[in-house]
């Protein structure tokens, strides 16, 4: 599971301590935006086996690749209207976000494949004028069954009170949270820990049921 929108070393280490597998840095206009220099300093202090992701929105390709190399990012998450051809030219494996308003939006998924360098599809909530981190879920019923044919990461309005239901319904490969583990816009150590515990319990239950 991924905790995104980290801006300080303290928050990043707290996320890792809580049990996050992946942490994310936002390199686009946002209250959670960081500079490449900030992200690089934080990444240098992380323990081994923690995956790092950079979030970009309709950025010029050379800037994405330069930042990915400079910060030593493991993955690049593209949150805009980046084409499959764009994804092919990113120097890191790509997680491509699809913003969901209704079931028709999921048709876009089939355009992005491993051949385009896209390792997973992240489903987030479409909100006009926003590109993630809104704290609003989309109707999960639209995504039911999608994880059977693609590697799906579920985002959008997840928090400790609903993530178990989301996992039970969608059966994603992973989940992604940002505002759902914040208090007054700041990452909350206790919320992160409780969220991870809920994810682990729900994932185990879903695995047992499927078996």
Tokens matching residue 8: 């300080």
CB atoms within 10 A of CB 139: 13
Q: Give long-range contacts, CB 8 A cutoff, 24+ apart: 40-43.
A: 40/70, 40/71, 40/72, 41/9, 42/6, 42/8, 42/9, 42/12, 43/71, 43/72, 43/73
| Residue 87 known to be catalytic | no
Question: Among 40, 39, 42, 34, which residue's Cα sits nearest to residue 14?
Answer: 42
The rounded distance, in Å, linking the Cα atoms of 11 and 13 is: 6
Q: Which of 71, 87, 124, 176 is catalytic?
A: 124
Q: Is 110 exposed, middle or buried (0-12, 13-18, 19+ CB in 10 A)?
A: exposed
Q: Which of 4, 71, 87, 176 is catalytic?
A: 4
| Residue 124 known to be catalytic | yes
Active site residues: 4, 124
């Amino acid at each position: 599971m991924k905790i995104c929108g980290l801006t300080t070393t303290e928050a990043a280490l707290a996320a890792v301590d809580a049990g996050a597998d992946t942490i994310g840095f936002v390199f686009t206009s946002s209250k959670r935006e960081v500079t490449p220099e900030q992200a690089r300093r934080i990444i240098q202090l992380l323990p081994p086996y923690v995956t790092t992701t950079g979030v970009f929105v309709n950025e010029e390709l050379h800037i994405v690749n330069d930042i990915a190399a400079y910060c030593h990012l493991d993955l690049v998450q593209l949150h805009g209207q980046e084409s499959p051809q764009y994804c092919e030219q990113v120097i890191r494996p790509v997680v491509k976000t699809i913003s969901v308003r209704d079931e028709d939006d999921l048709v876009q998924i089939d355009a992005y494949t491993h051949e385009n360098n896209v390792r997973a599809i992240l489903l987030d909530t479409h909100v006009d004028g926003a590109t993630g981190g809104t704290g609003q879920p989309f109707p999960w019923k639209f995504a039911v069954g999608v994880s059977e044919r693609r590697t799906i990461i579920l985002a959008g309005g997840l928090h400790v009170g609903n993530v178990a239901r989301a996992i039970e319904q969608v059966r994603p490969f992973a989940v992604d949270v940002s505002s759902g583990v914040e208090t007054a816009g700041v990452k909350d150590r206790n919320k992160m820990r409780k969220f991870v515990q809920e994810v682990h319990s729900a994932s185990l239950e879903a695995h047992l049921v499927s078996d």
